Chain A
Amino acid sequence: QVQLQESGPGLVKPSGTLSLTCAVSGGSIVSFNWWSWVRQPPGKGLEWIGEIYHSGSTNYNPSLKSRVTMSADKSKNQFSLSLRSVTAADTAVYYCARGSETSTWIFDYWGQGTLITVSS
């Protein structure tokens, strides 16, 4: 059973950089899957942030592209998200998820999510 677990700082200061890591167990990130980040601001719906393949190829949501960088660490079987110049609007629960082998937009496994608050 594949499991994903997000980890991060919990609190980030405005204009700072949000950094999150998703540790994958029960499976390898070196697979035919793409690995995504999705977020949910308080009281709002889900928003896809972007995805990464184990080779390092990425696709980002155009609305966040200028501030987002994703990376993958095959040796640690994890992938990461970096979001720069954060504001209060970036306060959200951040989830990592696995795209299915046949369709990257079908997320067959998710992490429990981690709340990131942007505040001074």
Chain B
Amino acid sequence: QSALTQPASVSGSPGQSITISCTGTSSDVGAYNYVSWYQHHPGNAPKLMIYEVSNRPSGVSNRFSGSKSGDTASLTISGLQAEDEADYYCSSYTTSSTHVVFGGGTKLTVL
């Protein structure tokens, strides 16, 4: 069981928007603005999409956005494209000695 809880799957049609949630606790997601999101196409290296809740690294499309409320962070992808179909993982710094925790991953299907 992963430390952070994500839905196993979400889906959407091209052009639509979807949101993936990531629920933690007051020791991780709720404690700091240190939530990251990663995109993973199986067989490839995971890619950092969002860091510190809502910041995008250079080169990441502005269709990707992040937010947080309390112990739950969210990743929103607008204008869905076929290439967005992938697994998405959230992570957070944690006050525990584990240092960083991850979610179980969400499989995004573009219909």
Instruction: Please report A residues at the B interface, Cβ cutoff 8 Å.
Output: 4, 38, 44-48, 51, 59, 61-63, 95, 97, 100, 103-113
Contact = CB atoms under 8 A, between A and B. Distances in A.
13 contacts: A45-B2, A45-B4, A45-B103, A45-B105, A46-B102, A48-B101, A105-B36, A105-B99, A105-B100, A107-B48, A107-B91, A112-B43, A112-B45
**Interface extent on B, as a size class?**
20 to 34
Interface of B: 2, 4, 34, 36, 38, 43-48, 51-52, 57, 89, 91-93, 97-105
B91 A105 contact: yes
Given A46-B91, A48-B102, A61-B98, A111 B45 contact: yes
Nearest to A108: B48
Contacts of A103: 34, 51-52, 93
B46 A48 contact: no
Contacts of A51: 99
A107 B103 CA distance: 15
Given A47-B102, A48-B99, A108-B51, 16 more contacts: A38-B102, A45-B102, A46-B91, A46-B102, A46-B105, A48-B100, A48-B102, A63-B98, A97-B46, A100-B51, A103-B52, A104-B99, A105-B100, A107-B46, A107-B91, A109-B45
A59 B91 contact: no
B72 to A, nearest CB: 17
